């Protein structure tokens, strides 16, 4: 899961925090800062990408919408239909999960062949539990072995992207030049699933740097340029 920077609430002409009349008004600014990607599954979307409330605006059991959550810039991410509907209105205690705007979620999850997502190996048991809870909350564990809905193609998109990234890497090994690197970057931004590209090109710091730079809003402080852009703990936010 790509660690993203949402940044501070946009300002109005008086340099005060914008007061959104509806959460949909924040969509354009969120996309400008973080790209047209689902914050959870990393799918690339345009028109169907929705403003996502990290803490649901009307959690299960609530009778009315909670305005402080519904219109709070710091409660916004972007989500695809599948992540949005799987997460639904389940109320969440933020500390029970990992979040792409707060944690280095690339450091906390592991992508393996086919784009299957697991908690990272280095996590403690408590952290693994948190990672599993996050995966389940967003349905990132859905794949053919546990019967996803036919409309949920997230696993398949990840698998396809994994294969494309592997093929790109092997082409680069045969023809290692700047042009090929630029072409791979274009393919990566077109197919999205940043975490998969970062994983497949784990041992190529130049490509990793390009992926980090090219996907808008990726938190650069989450990577150590001196160590092949290895993921490091996120500073300041947790
Ligand atoms: Zn998604």
Q: Sign (positive/negative) of CA torsion 73, 102, 208, 108?
A: negative
Answer yes or no: are the C-beta atoms of 117 and 109 closer than 8 Å: yes
Tokens of 195: 């975490």
Helices (DSSP H) in 35-92: which residue ranges?
Answer: 67-70, 81-87
Predicted pLDDT of residue 207 = 98
Q: What is the mean pLDDT of the segment spanning 59-68?
A: 91
- Looking at residue 143, its pLDDT comes to 79
Tell me the CA–centroid distance for residue 138 and ligand 1, in Å.
8
Q: Is the pLDDT of residue 151 over 90?
A: no
Q: Given a cut of 90, is residue 142 above it in pLDDT?
A: no
> How close is the Cα of 85 to the center of ligand 1, in Å?
9
Q: Using the mean position of ligand 1's atoms as its centre, give its distance from the Cα of residue 226 in Å.
A: 31
Secondary structure class of 11 (helix, strand, coil): strand
Query: 139 CA distance to ligand 1 centroid (A)?
Result: 9
For residue 40, what pLDDT is reported? 97
Instruction: Give 65's DSSP letter.
Output: -
For the cut 50, the answer to whether the pLDDT of residue 148 exceeds it is yes
| Crossing angle for the helix pair 205-214 and 178-191, to the nearest 10 degrees | 40
For residue 78, the CA-to-ligand 1 centroid distance in Å is: 8
Spell out which residues have Cβ within 5 A of ligand 1, the ion.
38, 40-41, 80, 83
């Amino acid at each position: 899961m790509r660690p993203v920077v949402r940044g501070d609430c946009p300002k109005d002409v008086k340099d005060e925090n914008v007061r959104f009349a509806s959460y949909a008004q924040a969509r354009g600014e969120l996309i400008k800062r973080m790209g047209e990607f689902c914050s959870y599954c990393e799918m690339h979307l345009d028109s169907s990408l929705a403003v996502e409330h990290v803490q649901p605006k009307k959690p299960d059991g609530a009778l009315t919408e909670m305005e402080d959550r519904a219109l709070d810039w710091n409660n916004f991410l972007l989500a695809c239909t599948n992540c949005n509907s799987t997460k639904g209105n389940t109320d969440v205690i933020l500390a029970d999960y990992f979040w792409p705007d707060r944690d280095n979620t690339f450091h906390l999850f592991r992508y393996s062949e086919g784009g299957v997502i697991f908690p990272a190996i280095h996590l403690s048991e408590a952290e693994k539990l948190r990672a599993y809870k996050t995966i389940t909350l967003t349905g990132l564990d859905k794949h053919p072995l546990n019967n996803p809905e036919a409309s949920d193609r997230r696993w398949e998109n990840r698998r396809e992207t994994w294969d494309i990234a592997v093929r790109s890497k092997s082409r680069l090994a045969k023809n290692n030049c700047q042009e090929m690197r630029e072409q791979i970057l274009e393919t990566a931004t077109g197919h999205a699933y940043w975490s998969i590209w970062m994983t497949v090109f784990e041992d190529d710091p130049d490509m990793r740097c390009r992926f980090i730079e090219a996907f808008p809003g990726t938190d650069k402080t989450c990577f150590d340029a001196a160590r092949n852009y290895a993921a490091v703990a996120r500073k300041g936010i947790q």
